[in-house]
Amino acid sequence: MKYIYDDLADKNILITGGAGFIGSNLALYFQKHHPQANVCVFDKFRDDTYFPSGNPTSLGHFKNLLEFHGEVIVGDLIKDLDKIKNRDFDYIFHQAAISDTTAMDQKLMLETNFEAFVNLYEIARQRGAMLIYASSAGTYGNSPAPNSLGVGEVPENIYGYSKLQMDVFARKILERDSQTPLIGLRYFNVYGEREFYKGKTASMILQLGLQALEHKKVRLFKHGEQLRDFVYIKDVIQANVKAIEARASGVYNVGAGVARSFNDIVEILKKHLGDFEVEYIDNPYVFYQNHTQADISLSEEFLSYTPRFSLEQGIESYIPEIVRIFETQVRAR
């Protein structure tokens, strides 16, 4: 059977947030597997503004794009959408956002994540582009797992709220016209290549791997039993690509479909990196998700999305890159 996404020759693809973790992986995926497609990245990149936590307000980094040969547009979602509004894109993969779940600036979060999305949707509609955008498991807050669409959508932080507002908007559009090509993908905890520049907001898999390599010791919040749906970047790319040919527009969960603990990560890392010590410390966060797990039944049915990587397989595939980052970025410091 032939799928639309098998042949994207001459298609114009825009990836917002293309200098970030997931966006750069998408850009490089299309460049490698669809060399005849025209791939364009739009990103603000990082500047010298920081949240009170010390984290940069935008996390894009040029080094994620060193191997990318397509067009790069430097722009801020909030004020520079004019740069793309008259362009003809066939597919827009909207990854740009304040992805830092600890950021507290409600106004900036909503302007960046929600309002800009509404404006981008209008551009997509006017230009006839399909819009596939990144939502988040943060929309479920601390509701009981497994997390199913439409159930327990009670975010606990402004990040989750901004993503829920995107989904609420998308659902309203689709109520009026279910044919609109609009897909929201609620990613769970994504890990993998090109997340290094997220710094403190990178996945626990990278952070624990680097701690183990550097100190032969890792720190976990007591007692490491918190459960998360960890999903490998290649499965997230798969979900985006398959969204091109979704059987129905709508919002979908993108996870591995199983919940694993931080202790599980430690055990898997030990198999690859050798033994190391684990110190359990108090959790300072008032809000902390204790159990997330994607119900992916609708994603399987309507996107033909099937996660291919268990946590064991994902970490095994990622380990050489974690070791490379340690040797080139951490040890060389």
Q: Indicate which residues carry an active-site annotation.
A: 159, 198
93: helix, strand or coil = strand
Find the shortest distance in angstroms from Cβ 28 to ligand NAD.
Answer: 13
Cα end-to-end span (Å), the chain = 51
Which residues sit at the interface with ligand NAD, rule CB under 6 A? 17, 19-23, 43-45, 58-60, 76-78, 95-99, 112, 134, 136, 187, 189-190, 198
Q: Which is nearer to ligand NAD, 28 or 97 (CB)?
A: 97
Find the shortest distance in angstroms from Cβ 58 to ligand NAD.
Answer: 4
Q: Which is nearer to ligand NAD, 76 or 156 (CB)?
A: 76
Find the shortest distance in angstroms from Cβ 202 to ligand NAD.
Answer: 8
Q: Which is nearer to ligand NAD, 140 or 326 (CB)?
A: 140
Dihedral angle at the C-alpha atoms of 157, 199, 311, 143, nearest 10 degrees? -10
252: helix, strand or coil = strand
Q: Which is nearer to ligand NAD, 199 or 224 (CB)?
A: 199
Phi, psi dihedral angles at 114 (to 5 degrees): -95, -60
Q: Which distant-in-sequence residues (6+ apart) come within 8 Å of 161 by Cβ?
A: 109, 110, 155
Find the shortest distance in angstroms from Cβ 15 to ligand NAD.
Answer: 10
Find the shortest distance in angstroms from Cβ 214 to ligand NAD.
Answer: 22
- Name the residue among 69, 313, 316, 57 with its Cα closest to residue 198: 57
Find the shortest distance in angstroms from Cβ 74 to ligand NAD.
Answer: 9
Dihedral angle at the C-alpha atoms of 31, 33, 37, 43, nearest 10 degrees? -40
What is d(CA 328, CA 333) in angstroms, rounded to the nearest whole number? 8
The encoded tokens of residue 314 equal 């994902």
Q: Is it true that the peptide bond before 307 is cis, omega within 30 degrees of 0?
A: no
Q: Which is nearer to ligand NAD, 139 or 249 (CB)?
A: 139
**To 5 degrees, how large is the angle CA 196–CA 96–CA 28?**
60
What is d(CA 224, CA 288) in angstroms, rounded to the nearest whole number? 13
Q: Which is nearer to ligand NAD, 97 or 268 (CB)?
A: 97
CB closest to ligand NAD, residue no: 20
